[in-house]
């Protein structure tokens, strides 16, 4: 076997390995929407998506665009797009911008990965078809009014990494029936559950030391036990 033949074999082997690597990389994100479905800003090391311009109802955000990680999408990314039904967020994203899903009235499902640490103010406001949300333990900050007007929301998982239920977080969530507040929470802000007319049960741990007097206003279905617990912390609370 001559040296020329051996060289050819080596080149073929290297080419095959490279091809397998490329195919593997593409497959890992193969279900994602193409970069052309988004407007985005290119940073030194990351990508911020600013607008969805595609036409697919079930959106899968890519983890990388132009070789850089997608770490954030801004306040107007899906704003007013009332026909998308689901969004899958990759585990490269750390921040969901304020109002990012504002008035996405057909959105029924959103997958939030463990990489996300911040959900901005009014992030899901008026997502009236959203029925449930599981917020991972990586999230430490959920902005005020984040789920304002999510009238179909029946269940939500609040992680024990959150310390404050901000103002108006669940304002007008008329289908929400019960909430378990984790031991990490110390404060429930103004109007946090205002207008949650179907809310009957709220588990409030000993860690909660402050409840705004309007936190549970217009919650007409609260059980006597829940009302007593709220009044124990704030005797001026209104219902």
Interval 41-99: pLDDT, tens? 999 999 999 999 999 999 999 999 999 999 999 988 999 999 999 999 999 999 999 99
Average pLDDT, the chain: 90
Is the per-residue pLDDT at 162 higher than 70? yes
pLDDT confidence bin for 2, thresholds 50/70/90: low
CATH 3.60.15.10 corresponds to the domain 33-233:
no
Nearest-angstrom CA–CA distance, 58 and 68: 23
Per-residue pLDDT, 25: 36
60, 88 in Cβ contact below 8 A? yes
**Looking at the DSSP assignment, which residues form a beta bridge with residue 68?**
65
pLDDT of residue 22: 33
Question: What's the pLDDT score for residue 133?
Answer: 92
Give the model confidence (pLDDT) of 189-223 as tens digits.
999 999 999 999 999 999 999 999 999 999 999 99
Structure tokens at 6: 């051996």
Which has more pLDDT, 182 or 27?
182
State what percent of residues in the chain have pLDDT above 70: 87
- The predicted structure's pLDDT at residue 31: 87
Ranges of each domain in the chain = 1-30, 33-233
**Per-residue pLDDT tens digits for 121-140:** 999 999 999 999 999 999 99
């Amino acid at each position: 076997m001559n040296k020329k033949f051996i060289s050819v074999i080596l080149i073929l082997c290297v080419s095959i390995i490279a091809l397998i690597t490329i195919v593997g990389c593409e497959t890992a994100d193969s279900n994602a929407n193409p970069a052309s479905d988004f407007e985005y800003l290119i940073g030194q090391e990351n990508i911020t998506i600013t607008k969805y311009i595609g036409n697919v109802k079930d959106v899968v955000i890519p983890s990388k665009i132009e070789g850089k990680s997608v770490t954030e999408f801004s306040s107007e990314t899906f704003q007013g797009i009332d026909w998308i039904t689901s969004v899958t967020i990759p585990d490269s994203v750390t921040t969901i911008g304020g109002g990012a899903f504002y008035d996405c009235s057909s959105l029924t499902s959103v997958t939030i990965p463990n990489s996300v640490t911040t959900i901005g103010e009014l992030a899901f406001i008026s997502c009236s078809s959203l029925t449930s949300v599981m917020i991972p333990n990586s999230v430490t900050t959920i902005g005020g009014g984040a789920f304002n007007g999510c009238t179909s929301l029946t269940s939500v998982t609040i992680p024990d990494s959150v310390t404050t239920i901000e103002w108006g977080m669940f304002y007008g969530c008329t289908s929400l029936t019960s909430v378990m507040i984790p031991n990490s929470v110390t404060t429930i802000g103004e109007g946090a559950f205002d207008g949650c007319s179907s809310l009957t049960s709220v588990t409030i741990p000993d860690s909660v030391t402050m409840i705004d007097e309007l936190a549970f206003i217009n919650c007409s279905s609260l059980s006597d036990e829940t009302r007593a617990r709220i009044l124990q912390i704030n005797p001026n609370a209104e219902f």
